[in-house]
Structure 1
């Protein structure tokens, strides 16, 4: 038995990670016939990723907007180690613990003032799934059947069925659309269409029993970082309030400082009834999500009838280690150092924009907080060959960016240095020569 184990170990060591990966792993958002290999990363620190050959890459998207405080942040690591020696996991149905209580207090303090209750789940998609179910059951518990969700065109809210139903990107949803809940879509508002969007919403309210409106405030991440103004969203939210339509702000991507304020909802006068959070919530360390809501939403589930309770649960809900990570991340976010870092990145993007926005191969640029996006003036499939050529060019130059079709965007960790930012900017300029 010992000899057999040694033989297996020897065989594994003889193969590269890339070779071993290809045997059994199926990666997300990947057409393996076009792009069959994944890059093995063996270490990450700060804004840098290290592959198995020792090459380094600047993480220009904070690993899908999660590691905003830098990879393996030492302060968060310290808090994780402390918690792991105290309490690892406990079922959250019928039990509670100090890390969850502490985190709930921190979140309620920094969330919009109308938020009062915190419900834990596992990831951004399930945070939105919870929000949609809360909204549907809220009306059900009130004795009113409302079964339609309003959502923006080309929005993205996750891959579970409720969240996917609300998402408008057909590249993700095509095979499953016959199984979706009823969702009606409206365009994201702007100065030219706001009156038409409001009219469309009001017509839907006459012809459908609308339970909720779910939206990504100010920035639609998967929709190539499409941005729109808060004043127009505020008008839509006001109409929803008038008609008792539950509003769900999907802040999975935008939350925790990325838009320049703690939450994108902080820019908007009319606050949401429900907010979905994940990604930067746990700083890239472990999976966890939160759905917050108002006292009014919570009270609709209080009843002598057990059937009016909210029957949704995840095994790892409010995992103590994940809660400790999130608490430490919020502490870092509120420090002067990280607030200054956010401001520094915002100003660096603005300076870069002045130098590149008039380039003949650039159609448009836009920025919201630390999120900066460039639309190339070329026709390119979202996950086609040209997109992978651009992706590979960045990686070959030590930059980890993931173009969304013809859109190149930057959403870096708050710890990124000025030198690292300048390297990203220079590589973007260089990539214009190959498109």
Structure 2
């Protein structure tokens, strides 16, 4: 018997081809059958500077020959210490404590446990987490609990805890979101522990965009009512929305921030949950029962930390922001072209992310249009993975003008074919 691979978010019963990638460089994936595929979604939103960036590769090679892994409970190492110091140049001053984990989902789980522990260690019974409709925060149990309920997690509903949900701030209906948040925050019988949001743009929920002004107002309401504010910057962080972190555009400093994906340039798993001093201090005690009870075997893996340090070096020494700004300008131009097409709608842009809908009767993640589009793009050597009938582009920052033009052209071909 041959052991078979079970791929994530893949319905093997459909018999769709699964290409084998043998190497990658920049924005290109090279397959075993000799094709060069333009990676227009940064390999699921992780690649920032492109595949196999020489500085990150060299850092991994050097570190793996020096110290590969060490327990991080009660021990430390130089790459982690260097990373903590380096992150202080990118994070707001008040986010001065960082906790390492290994993925976006675990960074979110850590944030939830920090928030609940903060209140528990002060003798306050606050358990309710507030979330935004259509959100996605990961696939572990806690992360699923605070995400949108539906096809993603129907089978696991008995395991999920209850949350308080506020509506997504649709354009023209933002006040309903703010009113719902105020209502939850002023509930004296069940005061919330925290609100968690994806700042400015919801990823897997359909690339839904809202304004920095609303983000800032939600943060203000939470501050006013002593509710912790958690920013899930796992996808939005490291330049995706046009700034290093999306919260910058709203002038918001959260109590807790989650980051992963682009933290290592998208090369190797590593996550950080950054917290303010009050969050840390609530767990600081001579009482061992108040310690923060969380870890994973590979917490602060030295090789991953070395990759992250190389990522920070790239941000310091290379024209990353100029690359981001250029992609945003190209997207804006293409968005204006798309505006002339019939049967597409909701064209929106946030930094290096451009999205729109191809009008479809189902209009959701399970739309049959999604797999059809996926195959159409793959046949034309472009990696785009629509969210149902929602098409989006989120390229690595190194993508060339020629490659980006090819992506745009193939998208227009798809619109002509399917719309």
Structure 2 length normalisation: TM-score?
0.96
Deviates more, 1:398-407 or 1:374-383: 374-383
1:71 paired residue among 24, 33, 51: 51
Per the TM alignment, residue 251 of structure 1 is displaced from its structure 2 partner at its CA by: 0.3
Find 1:116's aligned residue among 60, 80, 96: 96
Per-residue displacement from partner, 1:115-146 (whole Å, max 9, x unpaired)? 10010001000000000000001000010011
Q: Distance in 2 between matches of 1:379 and 1:51?
A: 35
Aligned positions of 1:325-344 closer than 5 A: 325-344=307-326
| C-alpha distance in structure 2 between counterparts of 1:370 and 1:259, whole Å | 6
* Alpha-carbon offset, residue 192 of structure 1: 2.7
1:190 Cα shift?
Answer: 4.4
Query: For structure 2, which runs of at least 5 residues remain unmatched after alignment?
Result: none
CA drift of 1:358 comes to 2.3
Q: Deviations over 1:189-217 (max 9, x none)?
A: 24533332222222223152311101000
Aligned equivalent of 1:412: 395
Aligned twin of 1:428: 411
Q: CA deviation at 1:169?
A: 4.3
SS of the residue corresponding to residue 132 of structure 1 reads: helix
**Which residue is 2:350 aligned to?**
368
Q: State whether structure 2 residue 372 is matched by structure 1 residue 392.
A: no
**Counterparts in 2 of 1:341 and 1:269: CA distance versus 1, 3 Å:** closer
Find the aligned partners of 2:378 and 2:102 in 1 and give their Cα distance: 30
- Deviation at 1:112? 2.2
Which of 14, 27, 30 is the aligned partner of 1:47? 27
Runs of at least 4 residues off by over 6 Å: none
Cα-Cα RMSD? 1.5
Give 1:234's aligned residue.
216
Matched position secondary structure for 1:434 = helix
Question: Is 1:176 aligned with 2:159?
Answer: no
Deviation at 1:331, TM superposition (A): 1.4
2:385 aligned partner? 402
Shift of 1:178: 2.4
Aligned to 1:157: 137
Q: What residue is the counterpart of 2:110 in the other structure?
A: 130
- 2:289 paired residue among 307, 316, 324: 307
Structure 1 residue 384 displacement after superposition: 4.2
- Any conservation in 1 of the 2:167–2:180 contact (CA below 8 Å)? no
Q: Give the C-alpha shift of residue 172 in structure 1.
A: 1.1
1:95 is the counterpart of 2:75? yes
How far the C-alpha of 1:302 sits from its partner, in A, is 0.8
Residue pair 1:147, 1:182 contacting (<8 A) in 2 also: no
200, 203, 228: which is aligned to 1:218? 200
Give 1 or 2: higher helix fraction.
1
What residue in structure 1 maps to residue 123 of structure 2? 143
Q: How far, CA to CA, are the matches of 1:398 and 1:321 in structure 2?
A: 32
- Matched with 1:202 is 182
Mapped to 1, the partners of 2:231 and 2:88 lie a distance apart of: 15
1:263 equivalent in alignment to 2:245: yes
Aligned partner of 2:330 in structure 1 is 348
Aligned to 2:42: 62
Give the match for residue 9 of structure 2.
29
Q: How many residues align?
A: 415
Equivalent pair of 2:167/2:176 in contact (CA under 8 Å)? no
8 Å Cα contact 2:368-2:388 kept in structure 1: no
Deviates more, 1:379-388 or 1:140-149: 379-388
CA deviation after TM superposition for structure 1 residue 66, in Å:
1.1
Q: d(CA) in 2 for partners of 1:46 and 1:154?
A: 32
> What is the TM-score of this pair, normalised by structure 1?
0.92
